[in-house]
């Protein structure tokens, strides 16, 4: 089990929180890392795939505590993932430094309909073009792509996008999903609003990280299926098809890596 930045942020917030998490599902005895019911723990099946891009997740404070959160699944797949609690007026110096780090090419992932300055919009082809550059001495080098995911409810994510001045100069990649969201754990006012993990899997695929994108999609489906087992009003499939599909996928990955 690999402990990553999202786990550490959640543990830190739990220690400093002044009140317990009492939302629906709070009575379920959960694994502290994968956050499904302990008897269905998925930690031993955590992804181990290669990925050549990084990720940055800005998390709303409420989202940090929710066991249904899917943003942390990104950090399960993309090992070079940084996670910060969102702050409108006092962003962490480490975050600001990362956004200025010339080794990375940061961009925000968000729907284009909320982007006032249309010149900020880029597609995956443009990002891959911007990624490569030549140094003054003629040596080719490239920056690591750094997609920024705003992890919160849809209302929170819009606020994060509009009120984060430190993000306002960055390019924006808009995702237009072809499928309706499969996120059943929480409802949205718009069925086309994908969960954070679903969005990230599409971004990975568009940036030529198809294997990591596929891994994240299947890992999300496995998590969703397992999470829903603790929902008493949800009729689950006892054959666990998503879990079996994930196990088949990682066995294929392991056999290819040998």
pLDDT of residue 22: 65
Return the exposure string of 92-127: e unless at least 16 CB atoms fall within 10 Å of the residue's CB, then b.
Answer: eeebeebbeeeebbbbbbbbeeebeeeebebebeeb
Structure tokens at 166: 């430190």
Determine the 3-state secondary structure of 130 from DSSP. helix
pLDDT tens digits, 72-93 = 999 999 999 999 999 999 999 9
pLDDT tens digits, 148-198 = 999 998 899 999 999 999 999 999 999 876 654 554 444 444 444 688 999
pLDDT of residue 241: 96
Please give the Cα distance from 71 to 53 (Å, whole number). Answer: 16
pLDDT of residue 191: 44
pLDDT of residue 238: 84
| SS percent in the chain: helix, strand, coil, step 5 | 45, 15, 45
Please give the Cα distance from 126 to 225 (Å, whole number). Answer: 36
Task: Read off the pTM.
Answer: 0.89
Structure tokens at 10: 């959640």
User: What are the angstrom distances between the C-alpha of 22 and each of 4, 19, 62, 99?
Assistant: 25, 9, 12, 35
pLDDT of residue 179: 54
Helices of type H across 17-110: 61-65, 71-77, 93-100
User: What are the angstrom distances between the C-alpha of 230 and each of 32, 40, 174?
Assistant: 15, 9, 34
Tell me the CA end-to-end span of the chain in Å, nearest whole number. Answer: 21
Between strands 104-109 and 172-173, the pairing is: parallel
pLDDT of residue 236: 80
For the chain, the C-alpha Rg in angstroms (whole number) is: 18
Q: Which residues of the chain have pLDDT under 70?
A: 20-26, 133-141, 177-193, 252-258
pLDDT of residue 10: 94
Residues in contact with 6: Cβ distance below 8 Å, sequence separation at least 6, in sequence order: 57, 59, 71, 72, 75, 81, 83
Residues in the chain: 258
By the 10 Å C-beta count (0-12 exposed, 13-18 middle, 19+ buried), 80 is classed as middle
Structure tokens at 77: 């797949």
């Amino acid at each position: 089990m690999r402990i990553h930045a999202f786990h550490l942020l959640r543990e830190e917030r739990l220690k400093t929180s002044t009140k317990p998490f009492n939302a629906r599902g709070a009575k379920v005895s959960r694994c502290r890392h994968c956050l499904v019911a302990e008897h269905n723990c998925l930690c031993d099946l955590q992804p181990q795939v290669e990925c050549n891009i990084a990720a940055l997740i800005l998390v709303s404070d409420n989202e940090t505590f929710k066991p249904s959160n899917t943003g942390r699944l990104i950090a399960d797949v993309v090992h070079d993932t940084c996670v910060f609690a969102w702050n409108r007026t006092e962003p962490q110096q480490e975050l600001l430094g990362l956004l200025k780090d010339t080794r990375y090419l940061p961009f925000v992932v968000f729907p284009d309909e909320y982007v006032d300055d249309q010149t900020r919009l880029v597609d995956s082809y443009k990002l891959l073009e911007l990624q490569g550059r030549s140094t003054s001495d003629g040596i080719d080098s490239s920056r690591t792509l750094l997609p920024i995911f705003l992890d919160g409810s849809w209302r929170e994510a819009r606020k994060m996008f509009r009120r984060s001045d430190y993000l306002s100069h960055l390019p924006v990649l808009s995702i237009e999903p072809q499928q309706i969201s499969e996120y059943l754990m929480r409802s949205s006012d718009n069925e086309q609003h994908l969960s954070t993990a679903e969005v990230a899997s599409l971004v990975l695929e568009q940036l030529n990280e198809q294997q990591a994108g596929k891994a994240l999609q299947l890992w999300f489906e496995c998590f969703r299926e397992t999470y829903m087992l603790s929902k008493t009003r949800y009729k689950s499939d006892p054959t666990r098809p998503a879990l079996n599909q994930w196990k088949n996928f990682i066995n294929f990955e392991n056999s290819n890596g040998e």
